[in-house]
Structure 1
Amino acid sequence: MFPTFDLDKFLHQLVYDENNPLLFNNGFFVYLFFIFIILYYLLRNNLTARTNLFCLTSLYFFYKASGYFVVLVIISAIADFLISNAIYKSKSLIKKKALLIFSITLNLGLLFYFKYSNFAIQILNDIFLFQVHPLNILLPVGISFYTFENISYTVDVYRGEFVPVKKFNEYLLFLSFFPKLVMGPIVRAKDFIPQITLPFHITKEDFANGFVLIVSGLFKKLIISDYITLNYVNYIFDAPERYSGLECLFAVYGYAVVIYCDFSGYSNIAIGIAQWLGFKIPPNFLYPYQSLDITDFWRRWHISLSNWLRDYLYIPLGGNRKGKLRQYLNLAATMLLGGLWHGASFNFIIWGGLHGIALSIHKLWHQATKKITNHWQKFGIYQFFSLLLTFNFVCFCWIFFKASSLTEAVTMINQICYHLNFSVWNRFWENYHSVIIMIAFGLGLHFIPARYNHRFTLGLQRIGLVGYAIIFLLLVLTYGYFKSSDQVLPIYLQF
């Protein structure tokens, strides 16, 4: 007997399902990508056709990930495409500025409405004792990412750093490029758009690099991050008052591994898929927990956001050009807004503020002790304690990032500070040894030198298809062993 074809079930797979949004780890994505890559290869020599195919696939991917919010991407693409060309053609500086302000207002206005309206209502209710009810607003997936890309595009055109594209499909592809649309990285038009018209050409090294990025990204997200999240971190953070200080402390360290593996894993997949399609996207993470100070951490963590905040916020505010005090205030303001970018919550503002204060203190400390610091940096013991201090400060800040409320964050800190008892270690290990091993394994992978990853990629090229197949099969088997019935959505999907 042949299996019957269920047309209704098939058609249901083609439409948006809010309980099962389309992501890279979704089985439907594999089929979609397989069909796309065949068509893309067939159309590789027809620039217009392959660009249009890419746009349609990207928009459909976004529809499957977020429903009818895909219309927002199209509207914002049309608006900024027209505005940027008007800025470029205008001979009047006043008109250019007016158009730029209109573009920024339009983009930030949409972002504010969807992301911060209820937060603003909450603040007004608390301050003025209003009784305004929250609005029934859903947050569009990826709006924080493509809003920043729109703004950087029009700003670069205004500054004369980039000539706007004349073909709308090229701008739409830049904005909707499906590997990075949902959760970044935040890509600059001047880095991405010139690649659209290049001939499609993939070398063995490109394929190997893409494969390693995709497989390592899936491993970090689906196995390490999801396992620690479901088996430990979530229920500790949900009710920290019920757990000991030791359990809360390891939940913080566990979350440090979770958020890194989750977001860097998804970024790796996006960059790897892009490389398979002939596009080079810079890395978004460079071993951030190896940082010896907080400034270095922000050169390694969410690099695309860090660079965006530096170029379009910190430097326009004055950067370090207007004295030390102004520099520290600019750093604090930039990180406060960076925290707010992540979410409409005082917890995110505190998280950003703490990093802003730390960056300012580090600048001040470095200036005051430059000669001493430069001398001691040569010694391993100094590097060890610098790394330890930086890592633990970052972990402390993650408490505010993860906690659902300020009360929960304070409770978590209170448990660690006043109820930390190592005498319960044996029982703790007995209950959570598999999670502790996974946390240690995740951190251990993070400290593997980059040169070994490069050697592995080169070795993979020599092994060929057999090597790719074996590694992918091992990933599938490992995932099958650790897979849970509960789906863990990527952390940065909410931003």
Structure 2
Amino acid sequence: MQFPTLSFGLFFLAVYAVAWALNGSNEWRKIALLMASWFFYGAWDGRFVLLLFLSASGNWLLARSIAAYPARGRALVALGVVLNLGVLAYFKYAGFFLEQLDALLLALGFGRDLPLLQVFLPVGVSFFTFQAVSYLVDVQQRRIAPAGWLDLTLLMSFFPHLVAGPIVRGSDLLPQFCTAPKLERGAVAAALLLILWGMFKKVVIASELATALVDPAFRDPLHRSSFDLLFGAYGYAVQIYCDFSAYSDMAIGLAMLLGYRFPRNFDQPYRAASLQDFWRRWHISLSSWLRDYLYIPLGGSRKGRLRTYFNLFLTMLLGGLWHGANWTFLLWGALHGGWLAIERALVRAARGRIALPRMFGILITFHIVVLGWIFFRAPGFGEAIAYLRGLAAGDWHNTLVTPLSLALVGLGLALHALPPRGLQQIAERVRHWPAPLVGALVAAGLVLIGAMQPEGVAPFIYYQF
């Protein structure tokens, strides 16, 4: 089930009704939400519900052991990290590493066909694995107390964030599970606006750009002009932002309607004036996770300049690998890590001497990000290089860009010039409107979005991670 579909809408209405009907008993409410989450996940592939159950149960036992035997805490956390990342590595990287090993053996003259390993990737495995790792570390460092089995399992299975984030940490959500929530009028207004806004970004902007501009440009870059490829890259920058931020907005809104608060995951990333600022605004739950559980434990910026640059590079390289088993993701991470290190060195060298206009920094940062998106979107390294060669060919006639796709690219970028908290300000006004009026406007918005929706809506991009 995808969020912007009728089947999910009916599913959520049923969950909403049952959850608030059971609000007098917080335990039964959480049990109902857990069953609904497993049903939601089972709609993708019922076999992997068992994986969720085993992962949550194993991490529950480890957390209890960490709390009971603090002297062995580090060793138990290390065991938990190995087990969690081992599951992730098997499902996500086993086939890739076998392919690379087979190619290496052939290159060395030890030609031997290795067995073909076909592993089906569970949807959202990267998200709930990172969630489990942060939970164990937080328990060991006494940031949070070990949770009960039901609370932890619901944390890892909760359907709004399960398949594509945000990576909601235990410290964010577990305290909210302790008491039955209350539904406030202002939260309902904000939630409905977020859901509608997310649906618009996904089904109107992202889906239209994908089918009309981005997919054709990346499918056959050798037969496209430089102009087509340039706007194909710009189009993908807008598509992936609108697609992923739409999922996050809808996830936050759905959780809010059930009485829970998720952290914000996007904050107008294309208005960033540096790559460091970009990562404070883009996929905030992942970037903050990488900072807190990888960059800082590696030493952060506390061990000298060269070590700082290395830590930045390694953190982003591993962040690229998190996205998938493909050399293009590693190159994407290496580009971001390398530029973060260069940027840090340049800022240090120019401190107090040069003050560049903010708009110049925004333009430089945006185009570094767009360059990275080419590797991120291309199916392989060869295709990414072909795309870059086509960009540099200097053929500027147009065969692909339409007035509509150009307008959608402009609209997607213009969103970053809006007031940063504009949606919250609108929600504050809407909360005072009569409920029938709000309901009528929401219904009209759904009808309007449905009318503009292209035929068929592709899955969210981050479902594959």
Question: What TM-score bracket applies, with the shorter chain setting the length?
Answer: over 0.9
Equivalent position amino acid for 1:51 in 2: K
1:105 counterpart = 2:87: no
Residue 449 of structure 1: aligned partner: 419
The whole-number CA distance in structure 1 between the counterparts of 2:333 and 2:360 is: 24
The alignment partner of 2:183 has SS state of coil
**Is the 1:145–1:183 Cα contact (8 Å) retained in structure 2?**
yes
The whole-number CA distance in structure 1 between the counterparts of 2:273 and 2:267 is: 13
The whole-number CA distance in structure 2 between the counterparts of 1:360 and 1:491 is: 28
Equivalent position amino acid for 2:464 in 1: Q
Residue 66 of structure 2: aligned partner: 87
Equivalent position amino acid for 2:4 in 1: N
**Is the 1:221–1:262 Cα contact (8 Å) retained in structure 2?**
yes
Deviations along 1:465-493, one digit per CA (max 9) or x if unpaired, are 34433432343333333333333111000
TM-aligned CA deviation for residue 97 of structure 1? 2.6
The whole-number CA distance in structure 2 between the counterparts of 1:455 and 1:110 is: 43
**Is the 1:180–1:186 Cα contact (8 Å) retained in structure 2?**
yes
Q: 2:321 aligns with which of 340, 364, 376?
A: 340
**Is the 2:267–2:420 Cα contact (8 Å) retained in structure 1?**
no
**Is the 1:233–1:254 Cα contact (8 Å) retained in structure 2?**
yes
Deviations along 1:189-220, one digit per CA (max 9) or x if unpaired, are 01210000233212221111111111111111
**Is the 1:227–1:482 Cα contact (8 Å) retained in structure 2?**
no
Residue 410 of structure 1: aligned partner: 385
**Is the 2:328–2:380 Cα contact (8 Å) retained in structure 1?**
yes
The alignment partner of 1:235 has SS state of helix
Residue 281 of structure 2: aligned partner: 300
TM-score, L = length of structure 1: 0.90
Residue 396 of structure 1: aligned partner: 371
Q: 2:182 aligns with which of 179, 187, 201?
A: 201
Equivalent position amino acid for 1:102 in 2: L
**Is the 1:145–1:186 Cα contact (8 Å) retained in structure 2?**
yes
**Is the 2:192–2:442 Cα contact (8 Å) retained in structure 1?**
no
* Equivalent residues in 2 for 1:365-380, closer than 5 Å: 365-373=346-354, 376=355
RMSD: 1.5
TM-aligned CA deviation for residue 438 of structure 1? 1.3
1:233 counterpart = 2:214: yes
Q: 1:470 to 1:437 in 2, by over 3 A?
A: farther
Q: 1:313 aligns with which of 259, 278, 294?
A: 294
TM-aligned CA deviation for residue 277 of structure 1? 1.3
Equivalent position amino acid for 1:417 in 2: A
Residue 440 of structure 1: aligned partner: 410
* Equivalent residues in 2 for 1:4-403, closer than 5 Å: 22-91=1-70, 93=71, 95-129=72-106, 130-165=112-147, 167-373=148-354, 376=355, 382-403=357-378
The alignment partner of 1:162 has SS state of coil
TM-aligned CA deviation for residue 230 of structure 1? 1.0
**Is the 2:199–2:449 Cα contact (8 Å) retained in structure 1?**
no
TM-score, L = length of structure 2: 0.96
Range 482-491 or range 211-220, more displaced: 482-491
The whole-number CA distance in structure 1 between the counterparts of 2:223 and 2:442 is: 41
TM-aligned CA deviation for residue 451 of structure 1? 4.0
Deviations along 1:254-294, one digit per CA (max 9) or x if unpaired, are 00000000000000000111111111111000000000000
TM-aligned CA deviation for residue 134 of structure 1? 2.9
The whole-number CA distance in structure 2 between the counterparts of 1:257 and 1:390 is: 15
**Is the 1:294–1:358 Cα contact (8 Å) retained in structure 2?**
yes
The whole-number CA distance in structure 2 between the counterparts of 1:82 and 1:443 is: 47
Range 482-491 or range 342-351, more displaced: 482-491
Range 388-397 or range 457-466, more displaced: 457-466
Deviations along 1:363-407, one digit per CA (max 9) or x if unpaired, are 11111112134xx36xxxx11111111111101110000000111
Deviations along 1:333-390, one digit per CA (max 9) or x if unpaired, are 00000000001000000000000001101111111112134xx36xxxx111111111
Runs of 4+ aligned structure 1 residues displaced above 4 Å come to none
**Is the 1:80–1:150 Cα contact (8 Å) retained in structure 2?**
yes
Give unmatched runs, 5+ long, in structure 1. 1-21
The whole-number CA distance in structure 2 between the counterparts of 1:364 and 1:478 is: 49
Deviations along 1:163-210, one digit per CA (max 9) or x if unpaired, are 101x21111111111110111100110121000023321222111111
Range 442-451 or range 358-367, more displaced: 442-451
Q: 1:483 aligns with which of 431, 450, 453?
A: 453
The whole-number CA distance in structure 1 between the counterparts of 2:363 and 2:278 is: 12
**Is the 1:219–1:475 Cα contact (8 Å) retained in structure 2?**
no
Q: Which one scores higher on RCO, CA 8 angstroms, separation ≥ 6?
A: 2
The whole-number CA distance in structure 1 between the counterparts of 2:387 and 2:442 is: 39
The whole-number CA distance in structure 1 between the counterparts of 2:276 and 2:100 is: 32
Q: How many residues align?
A: 460
Deviations along 1:95-148, one digit per CA (max 9) or x if unpaired, are 323322221111111111110001111211122224214311110000000000
Residue 17 of structure 1: aligned partner: none
The alignment partner of 1:462 has SS state of coil
Deviations along 1:65-120, one digit per CA (max 9) or x if unpaired, are 333211111000000000110111014x2x32332222111111111111000111
Equivalent position amino acid for 2:206 in 1: S
State the identity %. Answer: 37
The whole-number CA distance in structure 1 between the counterparts of 2:411 and 2:83 is: 45
**Is the 1:84–1:154 Cα contact (8 Å) retained in structure 2?**
yes
The whole-number CA distance in structure 1 between the counterparts of 2:286 and 2:140 is: 21
The whole-number CA distance in structure 1 between the counterparts of 2:353 and 2:180 is: 52
The whole-number CA distance in structure 2 between the counterparts of 1:341 and 1:363 is: 24
**Is the 1:232–1:435 Cα contact (8 Å) retained in structure 2?**
yes
The alignment partner of 2:384 has SS state of helix
